[in-house]
Each structure stands twice: as C-alpha cells, then as structure tokens.
C-alpha cells in the first residue's frame, strides 16, 4: 500500500475513484522495467503494457472463478491500473466482466481467510486451463481511436480448446448474464463439455440438470 500511495495514482484517477479503490481488495503485480521501455513511443508502450495487463487481469478472473467454486459469488475484477514509476507511463482500463449470482442478482459476498486461501489455490488451477495450449485462444486484436484502445478479447476466445477450458469459458458467459433462462442454457452447455455426451445429448443433459435441481 505504501507503493500505491507513492505512485501518483490518486492524481491519475481522481480522489473519489482512488478512495473507492483502496476500500476494496486488489491484486498488485510488480514487474521489472527493461531498458527498451525508456525509449518506446506511447503507441508501442500501449501495446506492450496493454497485452501484459490483459494476461495479469486473467489471474483476477481466475480468482473470481476460484471463489465461485467455494461459494456462489459475483466477485469480479473490472478495473486495471498500470503505473511505471521509472518511465512515467500510466494508463487505466476497464474490462467488461461484471458477473452475477446464480439467481441473476448482484450482492456483496464475504469470504473467510481460509476461503480466500482456497480460492487462491483454485485460481492457479483455473489459470492453467486458460493458457493458450489448453484454451486455444488466438491473438488479441486491438482498435485505437483518439487515444482510446479497445482490445477485442471475446473475438480471440476459441471454442476449440480442451473440454474443461471450454467449460470455464462458458461458465464466465453464464455468470455475466442476469437472465436466468440464458444462465440455464449456458449451464447445460457446460455439462455437455464436461460429460462429452454425443448421443441424445439434449435429453441426457435435461435429465442431469433436472437431477441437480431436485
């Protein structure tokens, strides 16, 4: 926290956003600065740091899933802040990853210290399945306009990954919607991935889902 206070983040994002940020749990990543980072143009640094920020944010998304494995929750990481204390470069971005509870609502969730530790363990397990070899995720394209860069993450997501990776991706889609019928449809797709049912899958998935509900 002392590093954050010395980072000029308050001036970068404003007092109100800063005060709201420090009231909430956050993940902090410390990365060494390389020599070439002092010579790069803004566009070059935007691309270099932007891609790194996406991959680091994936840890937070994996933690969100890890927490959900333990307790129905809508823990999410939507804000990313990057500050280089040496070359003065900084940016902030927002990732569209707001998630909901199983009933489609959004509510505060409390985790005990033991549950947080277990969620962190799960985070590493989940993250392994989101790596390119497992998920078959492609290159993330970007579009820039008037100083704003949009990374097309959803476009890079593949449906050709291994079954458990596909299940995790669809799980995030299910958690992002508050429409219960859409959630149930996504949950059924998850079961198809996990059970790899090939014959009469709609009927079999309906029976499995009904059994879970009962």
Q: Which structure tokens are listed for 159?
A: 């449906």
Q: pLDDT tens across 124-174, in order?
A: 999 999 888 888 888 888 888 877 888 888 888 887 888 889 899 999 999
Taking the C-alpha atoms of residue 197 and residue 200, their distance in angstroms, rounded to an integer, is: 8
Q: What are phi and psi of 194, to 5 degrees?
A: -70, -40
Closest to 98 measured CA to CA, from 190, 173, 167: 173
Q: Which two tokens stand for residue 6?
A: 């010395």
pLDDT at 206: 65
pTM (two decimals): 0.81
Rounded to whole angstroms, how far apart are CA atoms 39 and 86? 12
Handedness of CA 22, 130, 116, 102 (dihedral sign): positive
Closest to 75 in 3D by CA, of 58, 57, 60: 60
Least confident of 1-5, 17-21, 27-31, 116-120: 1-5
Contact 142, 149 (CB under 8 A): yes
Are the C-beta atoms of 47 and 39 separated by less than 8 Å?
no
First to last CA, the chain: 47
Kind plus residue range of the DSSP H or E element containing 17 = helix 15-22
Query: Of 58, 122, 100, nearest to 186 (Cα)?
Result: 100
Distance CA 95, CA 154 (A): 11
Enumerate the β-bridge partners of residue 59: none
User: Please, are residues 124 and 69 in contact by the beta-carbon 8 Å criterion?
Assistant: no
Q: Token pair of 43, please? A: 């566009």
- Binning pLDDT at 50, 70 and 90, where does residue 92 land? confident
């Amino acid at each position: 926290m002392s590093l954050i206070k010395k980072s000029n983040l308050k001036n970068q994002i404003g007092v109100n956003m800063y005060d709201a940020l420090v009231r909430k749990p956050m993940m902090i990543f410390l990365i060494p600065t390389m020599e070439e980072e002092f010579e790069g143009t803004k566009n070059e640094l935007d691309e270099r740091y932007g891609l790194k920020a996406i991959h680091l944010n994936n840890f937070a998304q994996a933690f969100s899933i890890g927490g959900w494995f333990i307790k129905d929750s809508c823990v999410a990481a939507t804000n990313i802040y990057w500050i280089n204390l040496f070359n003065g470069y900084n940016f902030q971005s927002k990732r569209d990853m707001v998630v909901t509870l199983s009933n489609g609502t959004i509510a505060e969730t409390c985790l005990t210290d033991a549950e947080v530790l277990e969620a962190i363990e799960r985070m590493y397990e989940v993250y392994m399945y989101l790596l390119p070899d497992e998920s078959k995720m492609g290159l993330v394209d970007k579009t820039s306009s008037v100083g704003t860069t949009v990374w097309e993450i959803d476009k890079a997501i593949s449906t050709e990954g291994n079954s458990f990776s596909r299940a995790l991706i669809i799980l995030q889609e299910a958690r992002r919607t508050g429409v219960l019928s859409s959630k149930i449809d996504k949950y059924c797709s998850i079961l198809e991935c996990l059970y790899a049912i090939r014959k009469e899958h709609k009927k079999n998935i309906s029976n499995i889902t009904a059994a879970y509900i009962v």
